Amino acid sequence: MGDIFDLMVNEARESLFQLECIATSLDNKAYGMIAFNTILLSVLVFSYEIYHSRFIFIPSVLIIASLISVLICIVPRSSHRMTGEKIINLYGEKNFDDAAGQLALNYAGLEKELNKIYDEKYKYLRWGLLFTIASLIIGFMIILYLVFDP
């Protein structure tokens, strides 16, 4: 019977840790987008110095909106991790089967909470990416228009 509970705890823990890795990779993508958007904003400001067009501010505003969205994505959110000390304090007095079952339930609850956080992070990252793509397209069209304007 103990093997079943041990398997259940390991599966729940592995599932939680995989989700934590995915959420961390989402943060890494957000940091990359911040760097890219910062460079793109610098290019757009430089383009304004060359062309002196008010239209260059349209993609600049979209880049700033993207930066805000991506910064919201990486804002830390509370997540209650089960440390070894907390596990021992909570379940040290119980027999193995009861403790393992409760631990598996706790991992499942933490995974549910982390999944909500991940969905929210993904939503903001997606909006940031859409703003960045829109600013690239609009900025490129404006610069092409200004270059080829007779």
In the 8-state DSSP scheme, what is residue 95? -
Residue 75 vs residues 15, 111, 136, 141: alpha-carbon distances, Å: 23, 19, 25, 33
Quickly state the pLDDT bin for 79 (edges 50, 70, 90).
low
- Whether the pLDDT of residue 81 is over 70: the answer is no
The pTM of the full predicted model, rounded to 2 decimals, is: 0.70
More confident residue, 91 or 61: 61
- Token pair, residue 130, equals 């859409």
- Which tens digits make up the pLDDT trace of 17-73? 777 788 888 888 889 999 999 888 888 777 666 666 677 788 888 999 999 999 988
Domain-wise residue ranges, the chain: 2-148
Say what the pLDDT of residue 132 is.
92
Say what the pLDDT of residue 48 is.
66
- Which tens digits make up the pLDDT trace of 93-150? 555 556 666 666 776 777 777 788 888 888 999 999 999 999 989 988 887 887 787 5
Name residues whose C-beta falls within 8 Å of residue 58's C-beta, 6 or more positions apart in sequence: 135, 138, 139, 142
- Whether the pLDDT of residue 85 is over 60: the answer is no
HSE on the CB side for 83, CA within 13 Å?
Answer: 4
Residue pair 33/136 in contact (Cβ under 8 Å)? The answer is: no
More confident residue, 104 or 87: 104
